[in-house]
A = this chain, B = another copy of it.
Amino acid sequence: MVSEVIEDMLKRMQSHPGVIGSVIINKEGQVIKSTLDNTTSLQYASLATRVCDSSVDALRNIDPTNDLTFLRVRSKKT
C-alpha cells in the first residue's frame, strides 16, 4: 500500500514534461507500484537495483555504516 503523501508526489512528478512514468521498488528490487507496463517496470526495477547496489557498495567501501539516501542518474536523452 502506498501512502497518500507518496501518491501526491507521484502525481506531481508525473505532470513534469518528459516524465513517461514512475516505478516504486523496494530494497530487494520488487515493484511496489508502477504506472508503466509490467515488462518495462520489471526491466527498470532490475536496472535501478543494480545501480543502487553498486552505489551502496561504493559508500560502504568507504564507511561500512553509511547508506544510500538519494540517487540521480541523468542521461543525454533525459
For A67, give its contact among B48, B61, B72, B76 (CB under 8 Å). B76
For A47, give its contact among B58, B73, B75 (CB under 8 Å). B58
Interface size on A, residues (CB 8 A): 28
- Provide the A23-64 mask, 1 if CB < 8 A to any CB of B, else 0: 000000000000000000001100110110111011101110
Contact at B59–A54, with CB atoms within 8 Å?
A: no
Taking the complex as formed, is A66 at the interface, i.e. its CB lies under 8 A from any CB of chain B? yes
Taking the complex as formed, is A12 at the interface, i.e. its CB lies under 8 A from any CB of chain B? no
Complex Cα–Cα for A58 and B46 (A): 9
| Chain A residues packing against B (C-beta within 8 Å) | 43-44, 47-48, 50-51, 53-55, 57-59, 61-63, 65-77
